[in-house]
Amino acid sequence: MSEEKIITGRVLSFSQSPFESAPEKAATLYEAVLVRDGHVATVGAAGDLRRQAPTAEVHAYGDALITAGFVDAHAHYPQTGIIASWGKRLIDWLNTYTFPEEMRFADLAYAQDIARRYFDLTLQNGTTTTVSFCTIHPESVDAYFEEASARGLRALGGKTCMDSNAPEGLRDTAQSAYDNSKRLLQKWNGQGRLSYVITPRFSPTSTPEQLRALGDLWAEHPECLMQTHLSEQVDEIEWVKSLFPQARDYLDTYEAYGLLGERGLYGHAIHLEPREIDRLKEVSASLIHCPTSNTFIGSGLFNMTQRKADGFAVGLATDTGGGSSFSMLRSMAAAYEIGQLTGTPLHPAQLYWLATVGSAQSLHLGDKIGNVIPGMEADLIALDLASTPAIAQRANRAEDIWEALFPTIMMGDDRAIKQVWVTGRAL
């Protein structure tokens, strides 16, 4: 017998992209959503759904906004413990904070402890899907996927590969990167709601031999995603050019070794050259915007409006722990602020779409997660649009849903998350 529940509130369902239509008309509000066997069955008037499913449990959330859970398209769960570390730019930040912390993940028990803490924090902030870089240690991948699986989460991730410009104890080899990645891929990819992602950290920490080995692995498993970093900081780009003098540009250090493709996720992608834009667009690659990280580490300003006008799939992300918050609300707020600095302010509908539908589409999961429409997995959140006095007094003046939502985007935190459901199961 089917398990059914009806969740009432203000159900936000996107019908089109707010980047391709009038943003204020991109979504529809419904009174309720019917969840059946872990999936969205339908949305509509509460009375209609009660008649359609008379034995369903009814969960009433008043005027809370019921939406898809957030999709964080780029994170480093091993950096949970060093989030908000002071005063460094990218390369110094890696050497000072990141690499010493990541060395600890050879210890499975430590990796398991951080994985539990990470998923506690992301779920408290309404994030129901994560895409994470792990460390070079297979144990870090096992800990991440085991914890996600125990909670029934949709999670993506992979073993970070580095055989150059990294400290002793945090390097693999071209062969071990290939062998361990392949073994982990075969172990985890497609197990329940888990997906393995082939993961070279970025070209400065991989030799050409390792990049080629991972390109070969991707060619053998084209169903997998591949994630890396691209053109995050100007000094990083100069470093790449010195390490790969034969490359036409930063992107070419991936393209030359089989690491450019439609299922590639290119984190940051701020300082792109015209050829790089053209090639990324030609292969329909995804760009992942990490706004709190870009401001916290001083990387630069990603031009969201221009990249969407170029036709890119763009995901939104926290980039924990280079990003300074586990909250996708904070990522939306930072994306808005960066938009203001580039002269292209983003509408609340665009911001919320990026954190849900847009991120899901960038991961090639737009048919499974990120929206409240029939057939989707019922990863949902109830969002309190009056979670603090400051937010409430502004939302009370709102004349439409977007004006009511925007104060929560700009000032909200985990207090705004009233409830989280994973495949229809309340956590």
> How sure is the predictor about 300, in pLDDT bands with cuts at 50, 70 and 90?
very high
Q: What pLDDT is attached to residue 2?
A: 75
**Does residue 345 have a pLDDT over 90?**
yes
pLDDT tens, residue by residue, 17-53: 999 999 999 999 999 999 999 999 999 999 999 999 9
Q: What pLDDT is attached to residue 91?
A: 82
**Does residue 283 have a pLDDT over 60?**
yes
> Cα–Cα distance between 126 and 70 in angstroms, integer?
6
**Does residue 87 have a pLDDT over 80?**
no
> Cα–Cα distance between 328 and 326 in angstroms, integer?
7
Report the share of the chain in percent with pLDDT over 90: 96
DSSP secondary structure letter of residue 204:
G
pLDDT tens, residue by residue, 252-272: 999 999 999 999 999 999 999
CATH 3.40.50.300 fits 4-68+370-426, yes or no: no
Question: What class has domain 70-362?
Answer: alpha beta
pLDDT tens, residue by residue, 357-406: 999 999 999 999 999 999 999 999 999 999 999 999 999 999 999 999 99
Are the CB atoms for 37 and 93 separated by under 8 Å? no
Q: What pLDDT is attached to residue 86?
A: 87
Per-residue exposure over 315-353, b if at least 16 CB sit within 10 Å of its own CB, e if not: bbbbbbbbbbbbbbbbbbbbbbbbbeeeeeebbbbbbbb
pLDDT tens, residue by residue, 115-156: 999 999 999 999 999 999 999 999 999 999 999 999 999 999
pLDDT tens, residue by residue, 181-216: 999 999 999 999 999 999 999 999 999 999 999 999
Are the CB atoms for 147 and 140 separated by under 8 Å? no
Q: What pLDDT is attached to residue 92?
A: 86
- CA-based R_g, the chain, Å: 21
User: Helix, strand, coil proportions of the chain in percent (round to 5)?
Assistant: 40, 25, 35
Within a 10 A sphere around the Cβ of 283, how many other Cβ atoms?
Answer: 12
Report the share of the chain in percent with pLDDT over 70: 100
Query: Mean pLDDT across the stretch 291-307?
Result: 95
On average, the pLDDT of the chain sits at: 97
Q: What pLDDT is attached to residue 403?
A: 98
Q: What pLDDT is attached to residue 310?
A: 96
> How sure is the predictor about 334, in pLDDT bands with cuts at 50, 70 and 90?
very high
> Cα–Cα distance between 62 and 421 in angstroms, integer?
17
> Cα–Cα distance between 316 and 133 in angstroms, integer?
15
DSSP secondary structure letter of residue 80:
G
User: So where are the chain's domains?
Assistant: 4-68+370-426, 70-362
**Does residue 313 have a pLDDT over 80?**
yes
**Does residue 1 have a pLDDT over 80?**
no
**Does residue 159 have a pLDDT over 80?**
yes
Q: What pLDDT is attached to residue 288?
A: 98
Query: Mean pLDDT across the stretch 336-341?
Result: 97
